[in-house]
Amino acid sequence: MPSSAAELRLSYAPIVQRVQPGVVNVFASKVIQNRNPLMEDPIFRRFFGGGGPQPEQMARSLGSGVMVDASGLVVTNNHVIEGADQVKVSLADKREFEAEVILKDSRTDLAVLKLKDTTDKFATLDFANSDDLLVGDVVLAIGNPFGVGQTVTHGIISALARTQVGITDYQFFIQTDAAINPGNSGGALVDVAGKLVGVNTAIFSRSGGSQGIGFAIPANMVRVVVASAKSGGKAVKRPWLGARLQAVTPEIAETLGLKLPNGALVASMTPGSPSARAGLKLSDLIVGINGIAVDDPNAFDYRFATQPLGGSAEVDVMRAGKPLKLTIPLEVAPDTGRDEIVIKSRSPFQGAKVANISPAVADEMRLDSSVEGVVVTELSDDAAAASVGFQKGDIILAVNGSKIAKTADLDKATKAGARLWRILLMRGGQQINVTLGG
């Protein structure tokens, strides 16, 4: 029998009290113009009037965030603030601040905000080393589910290195059964030492409510994004491999004489890239990095992307059945000649942001860098290009019979105007012919 109430009481309250001030609520809003397409017809306007401004609507989203620097840096999910005109951050002590988005990284679904007009010092959360986590470790999820106010749930690490979730480019998640609900996005997943082990990002359920499966972005990936924001970068700087990897299917494993379909197979290489200079070859099988085994390309991508720039990584490779160690320098992809522009001329491309396929663009957008063309990097919802069906990642190869090798070629082709637009594009590795009216 316990001799006192103190012996009986097991509580997470001390951890929660220490951590709560560093978890914030994030409110994002954007103005949506209610456009009636009929009002664009001058005859309709003449007979029915109403050519004035259309009513506006406010779209609001709610999420959570984590204070990662005492000067007022907050990390949250990119999808919480995507497209927002105004972002506000509310602290646990009820203070509210306007915030500016200083870095967005759609590849990890993370964004970093900076609180405006304040010189205060704020309570922060320290990063844990998420590689030290074990299945069964106790964790607490803190956020603002359903906008009810700051809430704490607890559970355990259900699984690590979940790579088949399909939420972001870097698919390597911590899975937990701590209840995560809408509004928790961007909130903290902390260990029993009160350190940040991950940023809650998604729930797996049919109803939209928690059913015991939630996912968090590991702290080691969050750390990379925050470090880029602190160094004043507008984009996250990551090591560049310069090779495209594919998963090992059971059939490929049999062909290679492998017992298990594990590892990442080198499918293509960029000449002069770090991997090419290190001696990596087509059909090499990558099975580990810095002594840690990798089961598939997603696991390798995460491990490689979280390496510090400037040094090198030792990669374990199987080549023709023999083990090999290669040293790959950790450097960023060259970003020369991106020449990003927004197409303004009246055409099916109007409103699309396009760029040349530099090594950095190819790396960011998971494209084959050997393809010559111009890639759509961004589309606003109200762009003509979005309404005719263009998608981010489409590569424009030719317009009306003219080859499109650079953004200047596309700009010129759209300025020329046409009644009929014959477009050759590549989407998901497939070439598509499209004909659109002018």
Contact of 110 with 223, CB cutoff 8 Å: no
Contact of 68 with 74, CB cutoff 8 Å: yes
**Is 185 among the catalytic positions?**
yes
Nearest to 218 by CA among 131, 348, 112, 122: 131
Catalytic pick from 61, 64, 109, 409? 109
Token pair in block for residue 31 = 């103005």
Cα–Cα distances in angstroms (integers) from residue 402 to residues 78, 341, 417, in the given order: 37, 19, 13
Catalytic pick from 158, 185, 210, 358? 185
Other residues' Cβ atoms within 10 Å of the Cβ of residue 1: 4
Catalytic pick from 61, 79, 347, 363? 79
Other residues' Cβ atoms within 10 Å of the Cβ of residue 314: 13
- The span from the CA of 149 to the CA of 308, in Å, is 37
Looking at the DSSP assignment, which residues form a beta bridge with residue 435? 422
In whole angstroms, what separates CA 232 from the centre of its chain? 19
Residues involved in catalysis: 79, 109, 185
